[in-house]
């Protein structure tokens, strides 16, 4: 099984680092090995141009197209599945038992639809009755009727030669499947026919989409015409994209790009053009998609079918960011310019992306960096760029609280492409989007980043949390450097970590060595003082730097004393190129008071006392107009949230009430502290089961 949402493995092939650049004259089919790494496309386009089936796209009796009034009914991108969703092969379906239980839930609907006997394909009436005839008592009858049709369609075989050799017709489902296999109709048209035969109001929408051979910045999308549908259920129109639900192409890549960097490693290899493999799938995301998200991928010819209160023009559609379902699945939003093309300023591009506060710290992000072939003549500089081992580290992924600040440096002029990947911690990284980066004037003194931080990146994230390093004094990935001025970074240690964690740190800079013609790393480890205070449960790291430049502070931990077992869990970038924001004196005093409270030994006071102290200083910060998104203000709010959860856990245990315990468990599981409180959650879950058993016995 593979994922329809394009993913990349944690292992990166670096064997082509100094390989001569060669081109491939013809696109090749994807091999099993290459299929796993092909990542340019998630979708092909399906056009109605050659559709032989002619049906009315909309009926006059249908309700007018309009945005959904009840916003709670909008499906959120967070329903992205981070697991495989592709059917490797479509085999014979298993007939259901005559005494099958009543269909109530979405899971029941999906299972029932996938088990539809093949003999039903000879009759629309029989098929529709089977799929939709027993849903009146289900959780969402109208939605489930349409979903059953969609799930059934997603598992039908349209690839086998014996299907393609049959005579296609519009009299039976089997006839339509043959027309599909012969590319004589579309999934959109067949779904529309199924819906109308099931008395579901369904319209067909035509437009353009960012699919097929689309590349960020393309202006002519005439070759990616697309069709999709809208269904009227639960008193509103909802978007459904049958082709993208049912089919996806795996392993397709476009030629013409040189992969410079992946996972911080130099690649210097031309990407081969691969045609990919089309497979069946069931991509949940495209069933009743949120219109505000789909408008980043599809633009209808008729404005009304955007189903948005604030519509966008085709030009805006072409200009806006090329982001994909996993981007919305993580709840992300563009905080810099919402564009698919960025132009370098002073040899640098800055892109800012933000995730929701409750899950930002559980997300990993990484990238691939590519240069367009022929965008720079093969100069000595380009050959140097592509061959030197220190070339990577041109892209800085800076985690700054809930925001990622992505900084790209350009050593030569050219057209570049940045692919961004992301996912919840410990799940495969999926393609979030792509950006074209144009550089017409290179960066002066383009020095690579001091280190390759890999997926840990710069700034505290999931790796720090998992290792027990909590409540960092510095939540951003980059800080300004003041020569000879001491800098102090602290973390609160999780209870278990405070007993055994071992910490090692380093301070690294990158310098150009003229004699060798390359950049080398220099360690200033002796300049860093690292103290683990197990009584206070605090990690303190201090250092002072005598020279301007750019430095990376690395933090690695282990539970044993073996130096071989240390694992990098957090990094910071300290740079003299970065300047601190100027603050008014009253803001500075308010933040100092907050900083002092957060530096207190919380083990010497009760949680309720600590909560009161933090609430007071936060109240004063608001009074002094400290911005709510200020780094230290955010740290105070996070510590307050943590302490309140501790109180809730304590109260839940004392009250011994099933409803209170269940609510507390659910809130903890959905919070940013799910990992921190994992043991407490397990204890509460056991208590919840005990209380549930008590309730059952007392009935």
Element spanning 228, H or E: strand 225-233
Whether 236 is in a domain gets the answer yes
**Same domain assignment for residues 464 and 422:** no
Which region among 205-209, 570-574, 599-603 has the lowest average model confidence (pLDDT)?
Answer: 599-603
- 591 and 667 in a common domain: yes
Considering the domain architecture, whether residues 460 and 364 belong to the same structural domain is answered as no
Shared domain check, 307 and 196: yes
- Please check whether residues 440 and 462 belong to one and the same domain: no
Q: Domain for residue 29, yes or no?
A: no
| pLDDT over threshold 60, residue 664 | yes
Q: What is the CATH number of the domain that holds 328?
A: 2.60.40.10
* Contact call for residues 24 and 32 (beta carbons, < 8 A): no
The residue out of 446, 472, 495 marking a domain boundary is 446
Alpha helix (H) residue ranges in 156-225: 161-164, 173-181, 187-197
Q: Are residues 519 and 469 in the same domain?
A: yes
**318 pLDDT higher than 50:** yes
Residue-wise pLDDT tens digits, 130-149: 999 888 888 899 999 999 99
Comparing 595 with 491, which gets the higher pLDDT?
Answer: 491
Query: For the segment 465-483, what is each residue's pLDDT rounded down to a tens digit?
Result: 999 999 999 999 999 998 9
Residue 639 or residue 583, greater confidence: 639
Greater pLDDT, 428 or 387 = 428
Does residue 356 carry a pLDDT above 80? yes
Residues 167 and 113 in one domain: yes
Look at residue 529 and tell me if it is in a domain.
yes
- Residue 411 makes CB contacts below 8 A (sequence gap 6+) with 347, 381, 385, 391, 394, 442, 443, 446
> Do 173 and 309 fall within a single domain?
yes
Q: For residue 355, give both structure tokens.
A: 């995730």
Query: From the CB of residue 572, how many other CB atoms can be counted at a distance below 10 Å?
Result: 24
Establish if 406 belongs to a structural domain.
yes
- On average, the pLDDT of the chain sits at 83
Q: Report pLDDT for 145.
A: 95
Q: Which helix (H) or strand (E) holds 573?
A: strand 567-575
Range scoring the smallest mean pLDDT among 42-56, 264-278, 293-307 = 264-278
Considering the domain boundaries, does residue 281 fall inside one? yes
> Model-level pTM?
0.82
Q: Of 10-14, 55-59, 668-672, where does the model show the most confidence?
A: 55-59
| Measured distance CA(48)–CA(191) in Å, rounded | 13
Whether the per-residue pLDDT at 214 is higher than 90: the answer is: no
- State whether 351 and 376 are in the same domain: yes
Do 292 and 389 reside in the same domain of the chain?
no
Query: What is the per-residue pLDDT for 3?
Result: 45
Q: Quick one: pLDDT band at residue 282, thresholds 50, 70, 90?
A: confident
Do 422 and 539 share a domain, yes or no?
no
**Whole-angstrom distance, CA of residue 606 vs CA of residue 424:** 34
Q: Where among 446, 471, 495 does a domain terminate?
A: 446
* Domain boundary pick from 446, 480, 510: 446
Shared-domain flag, residues 188 and 308: yes
Do the Cβ atoms of 175 and 43 come closer than 8 Å? no
Within a domain: 495: yes
The domain of 557 spans 452-580
Residue 270 lies in a domain: no
- Of the ranges 71-80, 117-126, 321-330, 601-610, which one carries the lowest mean pLDDT score? 71-80
pLDDT at position 239? 97
Per-residue confidence (pLDDT) for residue 112, from 0 to 100: 93
How does residue 658 score in pLDDT terms, banded at 50, 70 and 90? very high
pLDDT at 699 exceeding the cut of 80: no
pLDDT at 163 over 90: no
Q: State the burial class of residue 234 (Cβ atoms within 10 Å of its Cβ: 0-12, 13-18, 19+).
A: middle
Which helix (H) or strand (E) segment holds residue 333: the answer is strand 333-334
d(CA 383, CA 597): 54
**366-402 pLDDT tens trace:** 898 888 876 655 554 555 555 545 455 889 999 998 9
Q: Given phi > 0 = left and psi -120 to 50 = alpha, else beta, which region is 500? A: alpha
Q: Alpha-carbon distance 38 to 31, whole Å?
A: 10
The pLDDT > 70 percentage for the chain reads: 81
Domain count within the chain: 4
Partners of residue 3 on adjacent β-strands: none
**Residue 78: inside a domain, yes or no?**
no
Lowest mean pLDDT among 119-133, 268-282, 345-359: 268-282
Q: Tell me the average pLDDT across 657-678.
A: 91
> pLDDT at position 159, please?
85
- Say whether pLDDT at 94 is over 50: no
pLDDT for the residue 15: 31
């Amino acid at each position: 099984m593979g994922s329809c949402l394009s993913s990349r493995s944690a292992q990166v092939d670096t064997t082509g680092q100094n390989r001569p650049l060669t081109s491939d004259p013809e696109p090749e089919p994807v091999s099993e090995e290459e299929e796993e790494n092909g990542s340019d496309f998630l979708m092909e386009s399906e056009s109605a141009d050659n559709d032989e089936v002619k049906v009315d796209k909309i009926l006059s009796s249908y309700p007018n197209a309009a945005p959904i009034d009840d916003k709670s009914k909008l499906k959120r991108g967070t329903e992205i599945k981070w697991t495989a969703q592709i059917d490797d092969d479509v085999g014979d379906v298993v007939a259901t038992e005559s005494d099958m239980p009543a269909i109530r839930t979405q899971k029941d609907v999906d299972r029932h639809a996938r088990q539809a006997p093949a003999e039903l394909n000879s009759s629309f009436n029989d098929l529709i009755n089977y799929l939709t005839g027993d849903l009146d008592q289900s959780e969402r009858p109208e939605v489930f009727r349409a979903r059953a049709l969609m799930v059934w369609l997603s598992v039908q075989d349209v690839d086998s030669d014996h299907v393609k050799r049959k005579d296609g017709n519009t009299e039976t489902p089997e006839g339509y499947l043959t027309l599909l296999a012969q590319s004589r109709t579309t999934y959109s048209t067949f779904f529309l026919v199924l819906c109308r035969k099931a008395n579901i109001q369904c319209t067909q929408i035509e437009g353009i989409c960012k699919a097929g051979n689309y590349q960020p910045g393309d202006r002519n999308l005439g070759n990616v015409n697309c069709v999709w549908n809208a269904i009227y259920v639960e008193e509103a129109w909802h978007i459904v994209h049958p082709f993208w639900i049912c089919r996806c192409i795996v392993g397709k890549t476009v030629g013409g790009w040189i992969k410079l960097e992946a996972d911080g490693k130099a690649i210097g290899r031309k990407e081969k053009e691969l045609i990919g493999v089309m497979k069946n799938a069931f991509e949940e995301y495209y069933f009743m998609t949120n219109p505000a998200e789909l408008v980043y991928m599809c633009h209808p010819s008729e404005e009304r079918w955007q189903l948005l209160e604030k519509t966008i023009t085709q030009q805006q559609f072409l200009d806006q960011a090329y982001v994909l379902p996993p981007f919305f699945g993580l709840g992300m939003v563009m905080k810099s310019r919402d564009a698919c093309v960025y132009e370098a300023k002073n040899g640098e591009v800055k892109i800012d992306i933000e995730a929701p506060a409750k899950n930002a710290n559980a997300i990993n992000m990484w990238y691939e960096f590519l240069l367009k072939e022929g965008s720079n003549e093969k100069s000595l500089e380009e050959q140097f760029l592509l061959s030197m081992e220190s070339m990577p580290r041109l892209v800085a992924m800076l985690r700054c609280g809930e925001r990622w600040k992505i900084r790209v440096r350009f050593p030569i002029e050219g057209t570049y492409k940045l692919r961004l990947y992301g996912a919840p911690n410990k799940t495969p990284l999926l393609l979030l989007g792509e950006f074209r980066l144009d550089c017409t004037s290179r960066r002066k003194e383009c020095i690579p980043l001091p280190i390759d931080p890999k997926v840990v990146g710069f700034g505290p994230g999931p790796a720090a949390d998992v290792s027990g390093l909590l409540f960092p004094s510095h939540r951003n990935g980059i800080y300004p450097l003041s020569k000879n001025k001491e800098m102090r970074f602290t973390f609160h240690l999780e209870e278990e970590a405070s007993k055994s964690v071992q910490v090692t740190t380093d301070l690294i800079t990158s310098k150009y060595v003229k004699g060798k013609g390359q950049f080398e790393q220099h360690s200033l480890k002796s300049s860093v003082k690292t103290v683990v205070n197990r009584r206070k449960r605090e990690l303190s790291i201090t250092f002072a730097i005598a020279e301007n430049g750019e430095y990376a502070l690395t933090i690695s931990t282990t539970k044993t004393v073996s130096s071989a077992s240390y694992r990098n869990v957090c990094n910071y970038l300290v740079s003299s190129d970065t300047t601190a924001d100027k603050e008014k004196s009253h803001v500075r005093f308010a933040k100092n008071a907050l900083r002092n409270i957060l530096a207190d030994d919380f083990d010497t006071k009760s949680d309720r006392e600590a909560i009161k102290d933090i609430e007071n200083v936060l109240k004063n910060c608001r009074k002094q107009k400290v911005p709510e998104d200020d780094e230290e203000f955010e740290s105070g709010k996070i510590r307050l949230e943590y302490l309140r959860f501790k109180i809730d856990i304590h109260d839940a245990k004392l009250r011994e009430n099933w409803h209170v315990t269940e609510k507390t468990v659910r809130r903890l599981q959905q919070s940013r502290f799910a990992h921190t409180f994992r043991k407490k959650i397990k204890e509460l879950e056991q208590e919840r089961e005990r209380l549930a058993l008590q309730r059952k016995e007392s009935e």
